[in-house]
Chains A and B, each alone.
Chain A
Amino acid sequence: MKRLRFNQQEIVFAVFAVLFLAFSIFLRGFLTPENMLTLLQNVAVLGILGLAMAIVVIGRGIDISLIAALAVPPGLVLQMVQNGHSLPASLLTAVLLTIAFGLVNGWLIAYAEVPSLFATLATGLLLAGLGQAALFQLDVVQWSDGMKGFERLGQGTILGIPTSIVMFAIACVVVAFLLRQTRWGAYIYAIGDNPYAARVTGIPSRPIIVLQYVVAALIGCFAGLVMAASVNSMPTRVFNSTLIYDVILVVVLGGIGLSGGRGGVLNVIIGTLLIGTMLNGMTIMDISYAGQNLVKGVVLLLAVITDSFLNPRNEETAQQGDI
């Protein structure tokens, strides 16, 4: 007799399907083409961030500072253009800042051996504080004339599909290619699966870990640009929001175990769809922001508990003091 076994991906997909069906039947205005596009548009940025987080989590890390990378460098672009610099120069500065930020993260985690959760918690604060103290004049950095044309990154449609969704798709393809087709993608999986074995095998673990955080920061910056383009401004206070929990939610719900070495882009897409459906449904049901957070928190908690049962921590390779 064959036992029925589901992996998390299938379970989440089933939950998504059930939720989607239920909302379609019971919520008026859910299953309309406009709402579907809104749903996807709303979660596109989240999905891109999810990709960045996925890379880091697959390599057995976590990046809490993604929201800072999302808010500060794109905010810097807007601010610099507002102050009269050219768009390419501003973009270049922002990208350099992002790379430097990723390098700092990576160095702290790979070379100084600070736990990733902890290092990114602090560097995120550092970058956000830097933006608040030195870079921005106002909490919301406004669009200016110099940015003309750049809003096409987040607005309008390409072949009838909203641009932000196309951007998410492009990011998915790029990340999938990096993870599945390149050598360092394979290295990330190896490091996430068993860092010590990876090191013994001769994989340059430390540079690869640094690379993970640089790429994650760059993707985060890209998500920020898409977000800024779609709303024509950069609300830097987004750092204080709970967006990072949504990102973790996407990754964990999608089935990328926090113990590393598992999962891929498909998991991110599934997680994003589920979260998007949930948030959209709750918005239609007119649940308050705090209430939505409460529901999200509880769902995330259940997801993490389930994750710990489905992907138990490997006691052999779990580090002492790995919190």
Chain B
Amino acid sequence: MRDTLTSLRYRYWPDHLLGEILSKRWTETAIPVILLLIVGFALSRSIDHFLSPSSLADTARQAGEIGFIGLGMALVVIVGGIDLSVGSIFALTDFCALYLLDVLNWPVPAVVVATLACGALLGAVNGVLIGYLRLRAFITTLITLIIYRSAFDLLIQRYSNSIAAAFPDIPSWNFIGGGDVFGIPSVALVYIAIAIFGHIFMTRLRPGWHITAIGGSRRSAYNSGIPVRRTIALCYVASGALTSIAALFFAARLGTVGGDIGVGLEVIVLTATVLGGITLGGGKGSVAKSLVGVLIVLLITNGLTTLNARGGINRMALAGILLVAAMVDIRWQKNRTRIISKVYVAPTYHALPPPPATEIGQGGPFEQNDKLRDVELIGLGRIEAPEDVILDRNNNLYAGSRHGDIMRFFAPDYQRMEVFAHIGGQPLGMAFDRQDNLYVCIGGMGLYRIKPDGTVEKATDETNRSMHSVNDDSRLRLADDLDITDDGLIFFSEATVRYEMDEWPIDGLEARGNGRIICYDTKTGATHTALRGLKFPNGICVASDGQSILFAETFGCSIKRLWFAGPKKGQVEVVMDNLPGYPDNINLASDGNYWLALVGMRSPSLDLAWKMPGFRRRMAKRVPVDEWLFPNINTGCVVKFNEQGKILESFWDLHGENHPMITSMREHRGYLYLGGIMNNRIGRYKLENADPNFVQYDKRWGKAS
């Protein structure tokens, strides 16, 4: 009863989603967006006409102006700095625009260009000091803030009267200040255009990536050849120019040069930036975050003003929000990976009946023996991690290695070894096609093809993305084993879509159906997912009927058959279940049966733990990784089974010296070749009563002409 409830609860409650959602970059933008919605809702309830079109247009005008400065600040913060002088630059460029227009009577286009140039120039001073002279951004912009402000004070003492006296009535100027298109204010339109460009710039263009890289790690960026100083300097120039755009709209809207223009603006913009989720210290941020932050701050300050709060309260609210946002941001950035790693592992209920006996004297097909004790060893100490072994028609032996190479041992004595091809990722399952191309599953990379002359080509590294998956499952994380059908379809298994290759035991701990079988068509080059929700699918072998494949589910402890052609196309049936160990690769035997490697044997403790998901989740949260309960892979065997799923024979290495752990085996001319992903050798075992002329690919594809 209790087991049933547990199984139902873990079957229907998606535990794994929380960790997957948290590890998405967009969750960091989602939190400020939710905050914005809450603030907007609360204010619209407490203030009348808060969401009326005229009020919204007004907000949009202000948001546009502050939004430009926010974009500049975002840029500077992402590159790892800060710009406190924006308020003073705003004031100075506002003065510049009005002075040129009202006192010198320049035409509007010239005013616009000159104001932008003025802003860029003021920003360039910051840029040179911080970028090239490498001063501290905070202190430097604090100083330029006061210098620019005093310059502004000196200027308005002389010119404020002549500016106040002028009433320019120029249509284009008025349009900048108060015009709209279909009800959307001019400033908002320009902001949208620049924001879209900014988004593309930051996410798709090289300079944008340089900026993020410098903010993420200045030294690494320098070492990888990015022009750090110039990029930083240009960010401040951009900040100045963007601020001057804001000033231009402000000047056109109000046309005044009061003494307190832009005072405290830097705090507002900074609050918006941090609140939007742009990390202080650089490396993270986006245009959307900047916009959301600006909107939140603007709604709050406008709301407080409408509610007739005193100036001090406004100030306190801003400072309080700023502090809380900075704190939350800093703590989250610091603990993010730790939190995610704690909630990411989501074990589920997985019950298996008691395993068949393997002890000596108990009888049965799995009874232990010592047949593999005296196998011949190939490449002892010269090869590392041959997950799969394969032989070509010329009797040469191929095996993968941990270093990302495919090694070739030459017949007849397999003493001479060479690097057949270098791939870079760890080679796992292998298979030859009709043209003697070697197809290899590479963990973390995908499916690769190696031509007989040793050139490496990518076959596929992606499949169709499923709609309901949070993790991007179009990428191949752990392609594991493959086989090729007579029609040139390659079926290969992907063990898990939730973990990387080095984390495979955690997937076993989770015991969730995270794996899938993918089909790659060599004729069209198309890839699609054939079967989902498998518990660590591993070995794959085309069955003798040519219409189905046999595949092993390692942590399902079962062998299943998937029909890819014929009347039962698409159906799955169980061939064997409740194996005493974790099945790995499957291959053809010379007598028409199949070889199967058991990479490790089941243990009562893990079998029990698999029925207790809560226990495993607590373990994952509280105990360090190296003390977790892991599937045992220190003892294994090779078995032979027939089409009906009956075990015929088993081969063990009781002393555990040569092949305690076997991930693959391949029969060839009367010998069985053994590979293991933790081994430093390949085993060669003389089979009795085996066809001494059996060559797998001669049988599959016919003799070479």
Binding site for B on A (CB under 8 A): 62, 108, 112-115, 117-119, 121-126, 128-134, 240, 242, 245, 248, 258, 288-294, 296-298, 300-301, 304-305, 308, 313, 315, 320-323
Known interface pairs A122-B323, A125-B315. Does A291 touch B154 (Cβ–Cβ under 8 Å)? Answer: yes
B531 on the interface (CB 8 Å rule)? no
CA distance A288 to B144 in the complex (A): 19
B4 on the interface (CB 8 Å rule)? no
CB pair A297 B150 closer than 8 Å: yes
Across the interface, B323 reaches (CB within 8 A) one of A113, A114, A308, A320, namely A114
CA distance A130 to B133 in the complex (A): 39
B140 on the interface (CB 8 Å rule)? yes
CA distance A172 to B191 in the complex (A): 53
Query: Chain B's interface: helix, strand, loop or mixed, by majority?
Result: helix
What are 16 A-to-B residue pairs whose CB atoms are below 8 Å?
A108-B323, A114-B323, A126-B316, A242-B146, A258-B139, A291-B154, A294-B147, A298-B147, A300-B146, A305-B129, A305-B133, A305-B135, A320-B218, A321-B279, A322-B281, A323-B280
B523 on the interface (CB 8 Å rule)? no
B6 on the interface (CB 8 Å rule)? no
Known interface pairs A114-B330, A298-B147. Does A125 touch B136 (Cβ–Cβ under 8 Å)? Answer: no
Interface residues of B in 273-295 (CB under 8 A from A): 279-283
B81 on the interface (CB 8 Å rule)? yes
Q: Which residue of A lies closest to B216 (CB)?
A: A320
Interface residues of B in 187-241 (CB under 8 A from A): 217-219
Known interface pairs A320-B218, A323-B136. Does A133 touch B323 (Cβ–Cβ under 8 Å)? Answer: no
Across the interface, B267 reaches (CB within 8 A) one of A114, A121, A294, namely A121
Min CB gap A25→B, angstroms: 28
CB pair A129 B313 closer than 8 Å: yes
Interface residues of B in 65-103 (CB under 8 A from A): 80-82
Known interface pairs A114-B326, A323-B80. Does A129 touch B319 (Cβ–Cβ under 8 Å)? Answer: yes
Known interface pairs A129-B314, A308-B134. Does A323 touch B82 (Cβ–Cβ under 8 Å)? Answer: yes
In the complex, chain A residues whose CB is within 8 Å of the CB of B318? 125
10 nearest CB pairs, A to B:
A321-B281, A133-B312, A132-B312, A129-B315, A129-B316, A297-B147, A290-B153, A125-B319, A293-B150, A294-B150
In the complex, chain A residues whose CB is within 8 Å of the CB of B147? 293-294, 297-298, 301
Binding site for A on B (CB under 8 A): 80-82, 129, 133-140, 142-144, 146-147, 149-151, 153-154, 157, 217-219, 263, 267, 279-283, 310-320, 322-323, 326-327, 330-331, 334
CB pair B150 A300 closer than 8 Å: no
Q: A308-B133, A320-B218 are in contact. List 5 more A-B contacts (CB 8 A).
A: A108-B327, A112-B331, A130-B312, A294-B150, A301-B140
Q: Name the residue in B133, B136, B151 with the highest tally of chain A Cβ atoms < 10 Å from its Cβ.
A: B136
CA distance A118 to B330 in the complex (A): 12
CB pair A134 B143 closer than 8 Å: no
Known interface pairs A112-B330, A245-B146. Does A132 touch B80 (Cβ–Cβ under 8 Å)? Answer: no
Q: Name the residue in A122, A128, A315 with the highest tally of chain B Cβ atoms < 10 Å from its Cβ.
A: A122
In the complex, chain A residues whose CB is within 8 Å of the CB of B136? 258, 304, 308, 313, 323
In the complex, chain B residues whose CB is within 8 Å of the CB of A112? 327, 330-331
CB pair A126 B134 closer than 8 Å: no
Min CB gap B327→A, angstroms: 5
Min CB gap A245→B, angstroms: 5
In the complex, chain B residues whose CB is within 8 Å of the CB of A121? 267
Min CB gap B323→A, angstroms: 5
Min CB gap B188→A, angstroms: 29
CA distance A322 to B157 in the complex (A): 38
Min CB gap A5→B, angstroms: 22
Min CB gap B73→A, angstroms: 12
CA distance A2 to B323 in the complex (A): 52
CB pair B146 A293 closer than 8 Å: yes
In the complex, chain A residues whose CB is within 8 Å of the CB of B279? 321
CA distance A288 to B334 in the complex (A): 48
Min CB gap A167→B, angstroms: 27
Across the interface, B135 reaches (CB within 8 A) one of A118, A240, A291, A308, namely A308
Min CB gap B126→A, angstroms: 11
Q: Name the residue in A240, A297, A322 with the highest tally of chain B Cβ atoms < 10 Å from its Cβ.
A: A297
Q: Name the residue in A62, A118, A245, A315 with the highest tally of chain B Cβ atoms < 10 Å from its Cβ.
A: A118
In the complex, chain B residues whose CB is within 8 Å of the CB of A313? 134, 136
Known interface pairs A125-B318, A323-B138. Does A113 touch B330 (Cβ–Cβ under 8 Å)? Answer: yes
CA distance A298 to B82 in the complex (A): 20
CB pair B146 A119 closer than 8 Å: no
Q: Which residue of A lies closest to B217 (CB)?
A: A320
Min CB gap A255→B, angstroms: 16
Min CB gap B123→A, angstroms: 16
CA distance A134 to B153 in the complex (A): 31
CB pair B143 A301 closer than 8 Å: yes
In the complex, chain A residues whose CB is within 8 Å of the CB of B331? 112-113
CB pair A118 B80 closer than 8 Å: no
In the complex, chain A residues whose CB is within 8 Å of the CB of B313? 129, 133
Min CB gap B593→A, angstroms: 60
Q: Which residue of A lies closest to B324 (CB)?
A: A122
Min CB gap A122→B, angstroms: 5
CB pair A113 B334 closer than 8 Å: yes
CA distance A86 to B429 in the complex (A): 87
CA distance A36 to B405 in the complex (A): 83
Q: Name the residue in B129, B312, B330 with the highest tally of chain A Cβ atoms < 10 Å from its Cβ.
A: B312
CA distance A182 to B138 in the complex (A): 32
Min CB gap B214→A, angstroms: 11
Q: Which residue of B lies closest to A301 (CB)?
A: B143
Min CB gap B88→A, angstroms: 10
CB pair B143 A122 closer than 8 Å: no
CA distance A62 to B312 in the complex (A): 24
CA distance A313 to B319 in the complex (A): 30
CA distance A114 to B326 in the complex (A): 7
In the complex, chain B residues whose CB is within 8 Å of the CB of A300? 143, 146
Across the interface, A115 reaches (CB within 8 A) one of B149, B151, B263, B280, namely B280
CA distance A129 to B322 in the complex (A): 14
CA distance A288 to B155 in the complex (A): 12
In the complex, chain A residues whose CB is within 8 Å of the CB of B267? 121, 125
Min CB gap A273→B, angstroms: 21
Min CB gap B236→A, angstroms: 13
CB pair B319 A297 closer than 8 Å: no
Q: Name the residue in A114, A240, A288, A291 with the highest tally of chain B Cβ atoms < 10 Å from its Cβ.
A: A114
Q: Name the residue in A125, A242, A301, A308 with the highest tally of chain B Cβ atoms < 10 Å from its Cβ.
A: A125
CA distance A289 to B326 in the complex (A): 35
In the complex, chain A residues whose CB is within 8 Å of the CB of B150? 290-294, 297
Min CB gap B257→A, angstroms: 14
CB pair B146 A290 closer than 8 Å: no
Min CB gap A79→B, angstroms: 14
CA distance A308 to B326 in the complex (A): 28
Min CB gap A129→B, angstroms: 3
Q: Which residue of B lies closest to A244 (CB)?
A: B142
Across the interface, A114 reaches (CB within 8 A) one of B134, B157, B327, namely B327
Known interface pairs A297-B143, A304-B139. Does A288 touch B154 (Cβ–Cβ under 8 Å)? Answer: yes
CA distance A292 to B151 in the complex (A): 10
CA distance A153 to B24 in the complex (A): 60
CB pair A134 B139 closer than 8 Å: no
Across the interface, B319 reaches (CB within 8 A) one of A114, A123, A315, namely A123
CB pair A293 B149 closer than 8 Å: yes
Q: Which residue of B lies closest to A291 (CB)?
A: B154
In the complex, chain B residues whose CB is within 8 Å of the CB of A242? 146
CA distance A9 to B282 in the complex (A): 35
CA distance A48 to B296 in the complex (A): 40
CA distance A62 to B319 in the complex (A): 18
CA distance A297 to B317 in the complex (A): 30
CB pair A304 B135 closer than 8 Å: yes
CB pair A321 B80 closer than 8 Å: yes
CB pair A133 B327 closer than 8 Å: no
Q: Which residue of A lies closest to B154 (CB)?
A: A290
